[in-house]
């Protein structure tokens, strides 16, 4: 074996080692992502169950009907001006009207306190 073949083999072994390390890392990352997905799926299923139970209790104990729920869903969806089945993540400052994101207790623009009584604030 000449010197060129030796360097070529060393280079190939280095590339194989690097590829093996990357593959092992990718498998590890995939397992982490799989666990996170399983957690999110479980939480979503529980949220769906709770929501269904709450709707059934509400409809059984009040005069609220499915069309009322659908109308309210549309109203909430359209608060950001877009029909996209998403809730606006930001809250609006009652004083200046700017969007206030995250768990802030005061408006970044005018300093007014943000309604902390909203149980969905900061979600």
Tens digits of residue pLDDT in 41-70: 999 999 999 999 999 999 999 999 999 999
* Cα–Cα distance for residue pair 120/123, rounded to 1 Å: 6
Q: Using 50, 70 and 90 to split pLDDT, how confident is the model at 119?
A: low
pTM: 0.58
Alpha-carbon distance 55 to 75, whole Å?
17
**Sole residue written with tokens 């997905």:** 37
pLDDT at 121 over 60: no
Hey, is 92 helix, strand or coil? strand
Asked whether the beta carbons of 98 and 104 are under 8 A apart, the reply is no
pLDDT (average), residues 2-31: 92
């Amino acid at each position: 074996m000449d010197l060129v073949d030796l360097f070529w083999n060393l280079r190939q072994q280095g590339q194989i080692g690097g590829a093996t390390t990357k593959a092992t890392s990718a498998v590890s990352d995939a397992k982490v992502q799989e666990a996170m997905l399983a957690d999110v799926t479980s939480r979503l299923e529980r949220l769906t169950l709770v929501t269904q139970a709450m709707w059934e209790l509400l409809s059984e104990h009040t005069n609220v009907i499915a069309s009322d729920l659908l109308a309210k869903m549309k109203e909430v969806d359209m608060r950001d001006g877009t029909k996209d089945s998403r809730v606006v993540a930001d809250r609006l400052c009652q004083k200046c009207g700017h969007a206030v994101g995250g768990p802030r207790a005061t408006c970044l623009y005018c300093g007014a306190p943000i309604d902390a009584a909203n149980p969905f604030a900061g979600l």
